Amino acid sequence: MTTYANLLTNLDADGILTITLNRPQALNALNVATVEELADVVRAATADAAVRALLLTGSGPKAFVAGADIAEFSQLDAATGRTFAGRGQEVFALLENCPKPTLAAVNGFALGGGCELAMACHLRVAADSARFGQPEVNLGIIPGYGGTQRLTQLVGKGRALEVMLTADMVNAPDALRYGLVNHVVPAEQLLEFSTSLLKKILTKAPLAVRYVIESVNAVFDEKRDGYTVEADSFAACCASEDFREGPKAFLEKRPAQFTGK
C-alpha cells in the first residue's frame, strides 16, 4: 500500500482499512495535499479486493479533523474557491459512493471540513468527547465540501440551519439526538466499537451491502429514480450466487458463507 505524508493506513486481517488523518500539529486540518491523498487512498481501496471496509479516524486524542486548513485557504478568490469546493465535493463523493462500507470514528473535534468528511461516510461513531460543528460563517464563508446538503439530509432543515448559522458546536449526546451520529461510546472504546460494527456488516452478503448503499444514495440524487435503482439492484442480487447461498443456509440452519459473487 502507498505511503502518504498526511495519512496513516493499516489493513487488518478482516479487510478493514483504517485511514488515520495525521496532521496533529494542525488538529488534522485538511490541506489540499491531504484531500488529494484521501482521493487516492479511497480510489485504491475501492479497487483492492483485499479491502472490505474503510474506517476513518483522526490522530491524537483531540481532533478527528478541525476543518479545512485555514492558513492555506485564506487566499481563495471566486475562481479558486469554486475549484476548491468542487474538488472537495468530488473527493468526498468517492467515500459516499464507495461500494464498501465507510465509517467515521470521530475521536474529537469534527469541525467544518471535518464534520463534512464524517458526514460523507456511511456511518458515524462518536467518542463521548467528540464535538461537531460547521463554523464557516465565523470566517465569512459557508461549508463547501457538501456540508449544507449532507447536514440537512441527516438532521433536517431546522437543525441544520441552526448549526450552520450559529456556528455553535454540537456535543456528542446532542449529535446522537439529532441523528448526526449513529452511536456515542466512551473514547477508549471508540475503535473497538467501530470495528465491531464494520465486522458485523462484513458477515453480510457483500453485493447486497453494496446495493443498499447505492439505493439509499439514490434518494438524494435527483438524476436517478430511487425506486428504479432499488428494483434494478434487487434484480442484480437475485442473479447472484450469494442469493443461492443465503436462503439455503437459512433453511439448513447454518451461517451463510457469502463470496460476494
> Which residue numbers are catalytic?
116, 136
Nearer Cβ to ligand COA (69/214): 69
Q: DSSP state, 30? A: B
Per CB under 6 A, the segment of 8-16, 110-118, 209-217, 249-257 that binds ligand COA is 110-118
User: Residue 29 interacts with ligand COA (CB under 6 A)?
Assistant: yes
Nearer Cβ to ligand COA (114/246): 114
User: Residue 145 interacts with ligand COA (CB under 6 A)?
Assistant: no
Q: How far apart are CA 115 and CA 241, in angstroms?
A: 38
Give strand pairing partners of 110: 65, 132
- Among 171, 148, 173, which Cα is nearest to 160's? 148
Taking CB under 6 A as the criterion, the residue among 58, 88, 135, 147 binding ligand COA is 135
User: Residue 115 interacts with ligand COA (CB under 6 A)?
Assistant: no
Taking CB under 6 A as the criterion, the residue among 7, 42, 45, 66 binding ligand COA is 66
> How many CB atoms sit inside 10 A of residue 239's CB?
9
- In the complex, the smallest distance separating the C-beta of residue 1 from ligand COA, rounded to whole angstroms, is 27
- In the complex, the smallest distance separating the C-beta of residue 62 from ligand COA, rounded to whole angstroms, is 7
> How many CB atoms sit inside 10 A of residue 209's CB?
20
Give strand pairing partners of 183: 125
List phi, psi (to 5°) of 51: -95, 125
- Among 119, 117, 126, 115, which Cα is nearest to 7's? 117
- Helix, strand, or coil here: 122? coil
- Residues 217, 223, 226, 231: is their CA dihedral positive or negative? negative
Nearer Cβ to ligand COA (11/139): 139
Number of residues lying near ligand COA (CB under 6 A): 16
Taking CB under 6 A as the criterion, the residue among 111, 123, 151, 197 binding ligand COA is 111
User: Residue 27 interacts with ligand COA (CB under 6 A)?
Assistant: yes
Strands 123-127 and 63-65: unpaired
At 156, list the grid cell: 433536517
User: Residue 132 interacts with ligand COA (CB under 6 A)?
Assistant: no
Taking CB under 6 A as the criterion, the residue among 38, 68, 117, 212 binding ligand COA is 68
Nearer Cβ to ligand COA (21/45): 21
101 near 209, Cβ under 8 Å?
yes
Q: For the chain, how many helices (H) and strands (E)?
A: 11, 10
Nearer Cβ to ligand COA (101/113): 113
- Among 226, 227, 234, which Cα is nearest to 210's? 234
Sites for ligand COA among residues 174-233 (CB under 6 A): none
User: Residue 117 interacts with ligand COA (CB under 6 A)?
Assistant: no
The footprint of ligand COA (CB under 6 A) covers: 26-27, 29, 66-71, 109, 111-113, 135-136, 139
